[in-house]
Amino acid sequence: MIQKTELNNSIRILSKRIPGVHSVSMGVWVDVGARDESLEENGLSHLIEHMIFKGTKRRTAFQIAKEFDAIGGHTNAFTSMENTCFHAKVLDSHTHTMIDILSDIFLNSVFDEAEIAKERPVILQEIGMVEDSPDEYIHVLSGNAYWGDNPLGRSILGRRENIVGFGPEAVKSFFHRFYRPERIVISAAGNVEHGWLVEKLKSSFEVAEKNAQTFKRITPEGLSAVDLHYRELELAHICISAKGLSITDPGRYAFSLLNTILGGNMSSRLFQEIREQRGLAYSIYSFVNSYFDTGMFGVYAGVDPDRATECIDVIIKEMRKLKSRRVTKSELVNAKEHTKGNLLLSAESVDNHMVRLAQTEIHFERYIPISEVIEKIESVTADDILDLSRRLFEPETYALTLLGPVDNKSDYESYRPE
């Protein structure tokens, strides 16, 4: 059973009681992320994610860690382009302690200058780790190539020069501007009673004041580009970016199945053609990045530099096939079963229930049961996928990004044959 309560200051609390489990997963979600930052602020959301655990008026960073460890709990946080989440999971007998700690670190963090100074090199190392992992870094580069100067084209981790310069005032100013009640959703799933949960949270969170200020996200247009980044590597890492759909677009179910059929699993067209038939790449897959107002479809491959153009041609050819003829009945059935299986398996995790509660509330302002999602998946036809492919896969809008021993741009300028 899903229950929802909205506090007087607009903070929304959602819970789902799951019979038979002995744990509770809870997350404090904020509808703010890297795309809400200016260029000079890039990295602040991610820095705040780190600093939330670095001390409050009541607890030091060590006490926060010790108290969670003492109850056998797991706690973490993450930052995305549009959301920040601080979450934990404990045995139901320790739910009160979890609520107390999560409430304290979210509402009372001091953002101490000494702690920020200690955390800077940690984040700089995190940036370096991504840059040292070409199969990860290519996604940062491809996002920049496709979205350009829009915040969606920047790294969530931030720019080094920003991280070095951020101090307590910058952190506090950003936090107080954006981490406001009207942007906050608290979700919990597991062996938890809704009325009790609301009472425990209300005393802490209802003191937070609403902010009349509104924030507008700028919807970007995807860019067409050929973007080469030379680096001495064994492989050439490739990303092809194309138009995508927003999280709320009615075509999102067809979009998910299109992704699965093209490159979403081991039986997909790209995996079979590029890895199994041609031996071109060990790693080949397609992916979707969807946001509240826009999206991007992408394909990644890591290949021998001498065969990079061949691999690109095959990817483009497979994308073109989706535009020219319907997917087969067996492909569509298998993609639906694959997607439904993933959904139903995820439903066995209280963490995933907690995440779905918050995300559906943020994006749709209502809970969407898995049964409804499955019904929508089942209703997708081969014609839907054909129409969507024609709508999204326009060669003149593709962006191609390469990272590795590639330096001759002219080799890739004609990568969009039609």
- Active-site positions? 49
Rg (CA), the chain: 23
* 243's tokens: 């138009």
One-letter identity of residue 232: E
> Whose structure tokens read 């509770």?
24
Which DSSP symbol is given to 71?
A: T
State how far the Cα of 247 lies from the Cα of 35, in Å rounded to an integer. 15
Q: What is the 3-state secondary structure (H, E, C) of 233-299?
A: CCCEEEEEEEECCCCCCCCHHHHHHHHHHHHHCCCCHHHHHHHHHCCCEEEEEEEEEECCCCEEEEE
Please, are residues 12 and 185 in contact by the beta-carbon 8 Å criterion?
A: yes
105 Cβ partners below 8 Å, 6+ apart? 52, 53, 56, 59, 64, 86
201: number of Cβ within 10 Å:
21
350 Cβ partners below 8 Å, 6+ apart? 18, 21, 23, 24, 25, 89, 189, 190
In angstroms, the Cα distances linking 277 to 115, 200, 267, 271, 290 are 53, 58, 12, 9, 31
Kindly provide the b/e burial profile for residues 307-334, where b requires at least 16 CB atoms within 10 angstroms of the residue's own CB: bbbebbebbbebbeebbeeebeeebbeb
Burial tier of 399 (Cβ tally within 10 Å: 0-12, 13-18, 19+): buried
User: Nearest Cα to 155, choosing from 146, 147, 144, 163?
Assistant: 144
